[in-house]
Structure 1
Amino acid sequence: MCGIIGAVGRDDETLETLVHGLAKLEYRGYDSAGVALTGDGSGVDICKRAGEIDDLRESLETRSPSGAVGIGHTRWSTHGPPNDANAHPHKDCTGDVAVVHNGIIENYQSVRDELTTSGHTFRSDTDTEVVPHLIEEGLANGLDPEAAFREAVGRIEGSYAIAAVIAGEETIFAARNDSPLVLGLDNEIFYLASDVPAFRDFTDQVVYLADGEFARLDDDWTVTDADGTVLDKDVETVEWDPEETGKSGYDHYMLKEIHEQPRALRQCLRGRVDELGGSVDLGDLGDLSPTGVQFVACGTSYHAALYGAQLFEHAGVPAQAFLASEYAASPPPIGDALVIGVTQSGETADTLSALREASRRGARTLAVTNTVGSTAARECDHVFYIRAGPEIGVAATKTFASQQAALNLLTLATAGGDTRSVVPALRDLPGNVQALLDDSRAADIAEIYEDASSYFFIGRGYHYPVALEGALKMKEITYKHAEGFAAGELKHGPLALVTEDTPVFAIVTGDNEMATKTIGNVKEVEARDAPVVAVTDGQSDVERYADHVLRVPETHPRAAAVLANVQLQLVAYHVANRLGRSIDKPRNLAKSVTVE
């Protein structure tokens, strides 16, 4: 959600660097883009456009800002529609201050009213625009640029990552609160961004800002607290290669990331599973031993949380999964409960809010995340990294599979269970996913059902969260109606929507009572002339009642849920591709949702 890039010290390459960084941040979701540069003695020069990065590039062909210092932004609209005026950067009345901002300024209206009364003229509908005017006020009152920036930040309330440039200063001023911001260091060249991919092609040395911290970038870098005290920040090395954020010959990032799942799963499991001994060792987490577990998460991560809650329940530990945005209204944790926040980015605002509420309630907290140095990783009592590697496509794929694997490891290590049967299944999971990818008929299924009016996904047990996730993927990237259900719930209402134009994807693995009951639900939709696509390992006789079959290898039920999900990812991808959708950047969606 929104993206920030800043660069100091690139000299004649600053503009090119900013546009390159914005392109690397496209995956976060946006509807306009812009840049502001200064440092050549001619004030602050801004160019911004509604639309995509290519639209901005088109504008830059006839009007190229210049300067050795610059900031850029991709905007995901919250206040005001996506148009040129509302695009970032925003400037003050004099044109000497330019600001980019991620997040929401909650008191912007009262501040704006006050500034308007004082004679300031606003040109946009955004909450962000109050910031450059506040800086202008500070400068007019005799403050130096850094003091004016600090005073402006002190006046606003809400979530923000803010970066500003001021005419006459070859400096970027920045601050963060509840929205990510990271510095990139490359000798005497410095970068600022909302996410590492924006500058990873140039450096792997990073400094993560924490809430309440300020940064100043000029001929050096400095991080201070709210009082101006210089902080000794750790410089960390990004382990992944910049090529991991490219498409590697695939048509879309999403397809590449689906095919990266065997490697992502190996990375998640490596060093944590003793294959010979059949045990799991997560020693760096310590002895958690929860008496109860509450999960908080959103979207795809919520489906992983539902899956994780079942794992803990089956291990004898009471567990619940909550939508993070609803957690404040939930019952408090009981006893020595552990609250687990599942968040790919570690910056999801609703999940962070729920984790903070859990801490206020006295619970221990654990972040299951993909992002080293993220807010969730820093704020929680414990952190467990899923190690999926960078994911660029907005629709989560390899991170969901890695979350499933990670939650299996977490359950086995903290609550016990049948490690002798589960560990071999986890060990075989990367190979089984690869075999599935090599032989999948998902593209054929997509060709048959691309024109369907709606899609239903059903499953029981571990497959219920997968049914929900399958429907979410279909909705996200095809823009078609899709719903996931616990298979037994169809007859309690949703069956009224089933027609011959409603393909039903039924996940059935194994040959136990649960499989038998799901086959009964398949018969219910078959009797209403709905086409059935069975996602199955062939152990049951569901194929007798299915129009088409998507195969998964035989394995433990926990691992089968991962495999079934991969087939559904492929179906959604191929339907979207046939419909010509914007697969990597679906409309209205963002990769990291940093507002509540």
Structure 2
Amino acid sequence: MCGIVGFTGRENALPVLIKGLYSLEYRGYDSAGIAAFTKEGLRVVKTVGRIANLEAKIKEEHEDLTCTCGIGHTRWATHGGPSDRNSHPHLGGSDGKIAVVHNGIIENYKELRERLEAHGYVFQSETDTETVAHLVDYLHTGKQEDLAQTVLAAVSRLRGSYALGVVSMDNPEEIVAARRDNPLVIGLGNGENMIASDITAIIGRTKDYIILDDNEVAIVRPDSVVVMNEFGDRVEKKVQTVTWDMSAAEKGGYEHFMIKEIMEQPKAVAATVHPRVQNDSIVFEENGLTDDRLRDIENIHIIGCGSALHAGMVGKRVIESMCRIRCAAEVASEFRYENPIIGKKDLCIVISQSGETADTLAAMRLAKQAGAFTIAIVNVVSSTIAREADGVLYTWAGPEIAVATTKAYSAQLSALYLISVRIARVRGLISIGDERALSAELQRLPDCIEETLQCKKTMQRIATLYANRSSVFFLGRGLDYAAALEASLKLKEISYVHSEAYAAGELKHGTISLIEEGTLVVALATQPALFEKTVSNIREVVSRGAAVVLVTTDDFTGDESVCQHIVRLPKCLSEFSASLSIIPLQLLAYYIAVERSCDVDKPRNLAKSVTVE
């Protein structure tokens, strides 16, 4: 949530800041602003709405604005509603010598605000961030000439999470950055350096970067970057290099990032699966998932939020079926507060696209503290969850820009399949021949997804027929229920159509009262043993006037006449069917959103990376 970008160098920083902010749009925001050093002093321009509004305001009201150092921000309202005065950057002190941008939540801001007001500070906004700006000014003015030391002193007084970019008129070439439980990277250029909350904001200028760790502070100048720990000691940081180019974060001729990323799913799954299959066997040793550890597992906890949780629910069913280990898929925000029962021989699988999801990170830390072995399934290299987990299994889906995840979800599923097959093998539940056959099925999965994507035009046509529906219901049993939850979420996220997913057997327990003439019901039936039961549920909703779209397999044996539309999936092992059944339903959600003229890539009120509770 929210986005930070900062630049210090030799050329005009303003275009770099604006471009950087645009690259962070996918994170979600409702206002934007910049603070820039000019000959007249520190100038702040900010406005509610899109970055385009900020750009227009700069052109209309500040056309002479140029600078070689500045910071920018996209804000998602937390403390105080969307407004110009609540937008970042915030100025500190009556003379406005300090400017601050901030991602995160300052939990003790009220206490600090009261103390600062007692010292004569006047607050202009409702935000927790302005407290930081005034605190830095209070500690800096007449007390500490070095801005970095001031920031160190300030953050020691903060409770909560933060990524900070701070500038001061005392040194108009310098940006001081700090972080705790919120991502922040520093891009390393030639005669210029940047700070950003995401690599996408720096890749247009450089591919080299360092990652700040918790409680570190960085001094960023055009020709140098110095990082200190919380005690003020200098820290040497590993320089990393981005392995993908800017084209991976561009639309490439597609109308939206979401449809581009839907079409990239075969590649994402192949990149996740193929490196882990060697000589027809699944290999995890480098991830810390040794055969001995997998053999000794007593319980498995799968933790995630949103789509990551839904992937985990699929994984739970596959693991329990294939490995006969008790497995629970749990909401991260609930797990961390329910005093979970965790054993020292338990495995905790933590799933997060960004690797920065706040609740998931906290839940993982709790599991580690209790003695469980933690394995992270993440898409972002060197993210916080990846660095703190005992082992990491990267999904290699490439940058995912659309807020609603598609290819990262599919890659997460394939990672869970890999884990399932390997556990089953080392525990003697399947033979070497079985592992080879299952590995071959996993390697074939990208081709099956590619074939499934051929239903694109069919789903577009169905979307035009039902885009005006006010409610949609998704039904499924077993694995299909887990997949239905993700399908329902996709539709809600981007089209704003109310939708719910139900275990089909629950219909008679209340849900069926919501079915009326013209209600759209999407039924999933990919598990042969449950075909008859699912058809019975379909008949129940059809008899009450529902229109049914059935997503099923080529070998479906039920009565097809009760369905208005049937979408058939390629032949696939039933345990892996969720990877195929989700594809037409992602497309359905996408095309319904397009029909309803929604902002597909940036749905309202949502953010790509949720870094606050």
Confirm or deny a common fold (TM above 0.5): yes
- CA deviations on 1:488-544 (whole Å, 9 max, x unpaired) are 11221111111123211111125x322221112111111212111000123122523
Helix, strand or coil for the counterpart of 1:491?
Answer: helix
Mean alpha-carbon deviation: is it higher for 82-91 or for 306-315? 306-315
Answer yes or no: is 1:427 the counterpart of 2:429: no
- CA deviations on 1:92-132 (whole Å, 9 max, x unpaired) are 12111100000000000110111111110111110000111
- CA deviations on 1:427-466 (whole Å, 9 max, x unpaired) are 2211121122223310011011111121111112222111
Q: What is the match of residue 343 of structure 1? A: 352
User: Structure 1: which 4+ aligned runs deviate by more than 3 Å?
Assistant: none
Q: What is the match of residue 78 of structure 2? A: 78
2:455–2:567 CA contact under 8 A, matched in 1: no
Answer yes or no: is 1:531 the counterpart of 2:547: yes
Answer yes or no: is 1:333 the counterpart of 2:342: yes
Q: What is the match of residue 94 of structure 1? A: 95
Question: Identity over aligned residues, as a percent?
Answer: 42
**Which of 419, 429, 432 pairs up with 1:410?**
419
**Which of 378, 384, 396 pairs up with 1:369?**
378
- CA deviations on 1:171-193 (whole Å, 9 max, x unpaired) are 00011001000111112211110
Unmatched segments (≥5 aa) in structure 2: none
Letter of the structure 2 residue corresponding to residue 160 of structure 1? Y
2:148–2:217 CA contact under 8 A, matched in 1: no
> What CA distance in whole angstroms lies between the structure 1 residues aligned with 2:436 and 2:475?
29
**Which of 176, 192, 197 pairs up with 1:189?**
192
2:344–2:370 CA contact under 8 A, matched in 1: no
- CA deviations on 1:129-164 (whole Å, 9 max, x unpaired) are 011111111222331122222222222110000110
> What CA distance in whole angstroms lies between the structure 1 residues aligned with 2:183 and 2:571?
42
Q: What is the match of residue 284 of structure 1? A: 286
- CA deviations on 1:388-421 (whole Å, 9 max, x unpaired) are 1100000000011000011111222234354244
Mean alpha-carbon deviation: is it higher for 308-317 or for 251-260? 308-317
Letter of the structure 2 residue corresponding to residue 294 of structure 1? H
Q: What is the match of residue 383 of structure 1? A: 392
Q: How far off its partner does 1:335 sit? A: 4.7
> What CA distance in whole angstroms lies between the structure 2 residues aligned with 1:227 and 1:41?
35
Q: How far off its partner does 1:380 sit? A: 1.0
**Which of 458, 465, 468 pairs up with 2:475?**
458
Q: What is the match of residue 308 of structure 2? A: 301
Letter of the structure 2 residue corresponding to residue 298 of structure 1? C
Letter of the structure 2 residue corresponding to residue 137 of structure 1? Y
Q: What is the match of residue 573 of structure 2? A: 556
Answer yes or no: is 1:128 the counterpart of 2:145: no
Q: How does 1:238-317 map to 2 (within 5 A)?
A: 238-274=242-278, 277-286=279-288, 287=290, 288-289=293-294, 290-314=297-321, 315-317=323-325
2:395–2:412 CA contact under 8 A, matched in 1: yes
- CA deviations on 1:334-378 (whole Å, 9 max, x unpaired) are 350011110110100010111111122221211110011111011
Q: How does 1:21-60 map to 2 (within 5 A)?
A: 21-38=20-37, 40-60=38-58
1:268–1:388 CA contact under 8 A, matched in 2: yes
Q: What is the match of residue 174 of structure 2? A: 171
2:349–2:377 CA contact under 8 A, matched in 1: yes
> What CA distance in whole angstroms lies between the structure 2 residues aligned with 1:352 and 1:85?
32
- How many residues align? The count is 591
Letter of the structure 1 residue corresponding to residue 573 of structure 2? H
> What CA distance in whole angstroms lies between the structure 2 residues aligned with 1:517 and 1:333?
36
> What CA distance in whole angstroms lies between the structure 1 residues aligned with 2:45 and 2:142?
28
TM-score, scaled relative to structure 2: 0.94
Q: What is the match of residue 17 of structure 1? A: 16
Q: How far off its partner does 1:41 sit? A: 4.2
- CA deviations on 1:232-261 (whole Å, 9 max, x unpaired) are 111111111111000001111101100111
Helix, strand or coil for the counterpart of 1:341?
Answer: strand
1:508–1:542 CA contact under 8 A, matched in 2: no
Q: What is the match of residue 224 of structure 1? A: 228
> What CA distance in whole angstroms lies between the structure 2 residues aligned with 1:509 and 1:309?
17
RMSD: 1.3
1:292–1:335 CA contact under 8 A, matched in 2: no
Q: How does 1:566-577 map to 2 (within 5 A)?
A: 566-577=583-594
> What CA distance in whole angstroms lies between the structure 2 residues aligned with 1:551 and 1:253?
26
2:152–2:232 CA contact under 8 A, matched in 1: no
1:296–1:342 CA contact under 8 A, matched in 2: yes
Q: What is the match of residue 486 of structure 1? A: 503
Letter of the structure 2 residue corresponding to residue 318 of structure 1? R
Q: How far off its partner does 1:6 sit? A: 0.7
The structure-2 alpha-carbon separation of the partners of 1:414 and 1:234, relative to structure 1 and needing over 3 Å to count, comes to: farther
Q: What is the match of residue 140 of structure 2? A: 139
**Which of 585, 604, 607 pairs up with 1:587?**
604
> What CA distance in whole angstroms lies between the structure 2 residues aligned with 1:539 and 1:493?
31
Letter of the structure 2 residue corresponding to residue 81 of structure 1? G
Q: What is the match of residue 212 of structure 2? A: 209
> What CA distance in whole angstroms lies between the structure 1 residues aligned with 2:479 and 2:277?
22
TM-score, scaled relative to structure 1: 0.97
Q: How does 1:53-68 map to 2 (within 5 A)?
A: 53-62=51-60, 63-64=62-63, 65-68=65-68
Mean alpha-carbon deviation: is it higher for 341-350 or for 424-433? 424-433
Helix, strand or coil for the counterpart of 1:267?
Answer: helix
**Which of 327, 331, 338 pairs up with 1:323?**
331
Q: How far off its partner does 1:330 sit? A: 4.8
Helix, strand or coil for the counterpart of 2:125?
Answer: coil
> What CA distance in whole angstroms lies between the structure 2 residues aligned with 1:334 and 1:527?
49
Q: What is the match of residue 518 of structure 2? A: 501
> What CA distance in whole angstroms lies between the structure 2 residues aligned with 1:283 and 1:355?
21
> What CA distance in whole angstroms lies between the structure 1 residues aligned with 2:370 and 2:459?
46
Helix, strand or coil for the counterpart of 1:12?
Answer: coil
Helix, strand or coil for the counterpart of 1:545?
Answer: coil
Helix, strand or coil for the counterpart of 1:165?
Answer: strand
The structure-2 alpha-carbon separation of the partners of 1:130 and 1:542, relative to structure 1 and needing over 3 Å to count, comes to: farther
> What CA distance in whole angstroms lies between the structure 2 residues aligned with 1:567 and 1:542?
21
Letter of the structure 2 residue corresponding to residue 329 of structure 1? E
- CA deviations on 1:78-102 (whole Å, 9 max, x unpaired) are 0001010000000012111100000
- CA deviations on 1:457-497 (whole Å, 9 max, x unpaired) are 11122221110000000000011100011121122111111
The structure-2 alpha-carbon separation of the partners of 1:361 and 1:542, relative to structure 1 and needing over 3 Å to count, comes to: farther
Helix, strand or coil for the counterpart of 1:550?
Answer: strand
Unmatched segments (≥5 aa) in structure 1: none
Helix, strand or coil for the counterpart of 2:486?
Answer: helix
Q: How far off its partner does 1:558 sit? A: 2.6
> What CA distance in whole angstroms lies between the structure 2 residues aligned with 1:297 and 1:403?
11
